[in-house]
Amino acid sequence: MATLCLKKLLDQARWKEANYLIRYFASSLVQPPKRTTLPPTWISREHAIKGLLLVPTQAFATDEGAEEEPTRKKKNPNAKKTVESIGRKIPYRIIQLIDDNGNNAGTMHRSDVLRILDESGLKLVLQNEKADPPVYRLMSGQQIHEERLKLREKQKASSKSGPVQQKEMKFSTMIAQHDLDTKIKQIQQWIDKKHHIRITLRQRNVADGPEKMMALFDQILDTMPEKATYLSQPRIVKEGSSTCVLRHMSEKEIREYKAKEKNKDLPKDNGKDAIDADALQH
Q: What's the farthest any 2 CA atoms get from each other in the chain?
A: 167
Q: Is residue 86 part of a domain?
A: no
Domain count, the chain: 2
Least confident of 83-97, 145-159, 210-224, 261-275: 261-275
Q: Does residue 173 sit in the same domain as residue 256?
A: yes
The 10s digit of each residue's pLDDT in 111-132 is 999 999 999 999 999 989 999 9
121: CATH: 3.10.20.80
Give the residue from 145, 160, 175 where a domain finishes.
160
- Non-local (6+) Cβ contacts of 277 within 8 A are none
* Distance in angstroms (rounded) separating the CA atoms of residues 162 and 223: 27
Residue 59 confidence (pLDDT): 44
Domain that holds residue 238: 166-265
Rounded CA separation 82/97 (Å)? 19
| pLDDT per position as a tens digit, 164-209 | 889 999 999 889 999 999 999 999 999 999 999 999 999 877 666 7
- Supply the pLDDT for residue 41: 43
Q: How many helices (H) and strands (E) does the chain have?
A: 8, 10
Reported as half-sphere exposure (CB side, CA atoms, 13 A), residue 66 has a value of 7
| pTM, rounded to two decimals | 0.41
